[in-house]
Amino acid sequence: MSLQAIGLSLLALGAVAAAPPLEAVSGESLTQAERRLRACLSANASGGHATLEAAVLSTRVACKPQIDGARDARIVAATAGLGPDEAQAIARRVTRELNNEIAHAIANFSGLSAHHAHH
């Protein structure tokens, strides 16, 4: 499975949780949310997974609160002052970008590549 296909899978997972959040978790700053997410991804991605897809799925489950916090903080920052329709479009774009970044980070932290997913 390619990173692009994994990104699309993550998009589908993220779309379920992509209801427009109104504020970051507990007022957490974007920097704090990003640090917590990176630490969680790093700690969970190298769990001896056989494939990148397994690593992505497992790590996303383990890091769901951190992913949600980072997504919410990014959306708040990116949509400040926008109207509802424009904010919703930006929120979807932010979610897609975050999902792609997560897949790449997990690939880097796990040492797995999309090539391993075909074995």
Per-position pLDDT tens, the chain of length 119: 455 544 444 443 443 333 334 344 455 688 999 999 999 999 999 878 889 999 999 999 999 999 999 999 999 999 999 999 999 999 999 999 999 999 999 999 999 887 544 44
Report if pTM > 0.95: no
Q: Quick check: 20 and 72 in contact, CB under 8 A? A: no
Q: How many helices (H) and strands (E) does the chain have?
A: 5, 0
Question: How far is the C-alpha of 115 from the C-alpha of 31, rounded, in Å?
Answer: 33
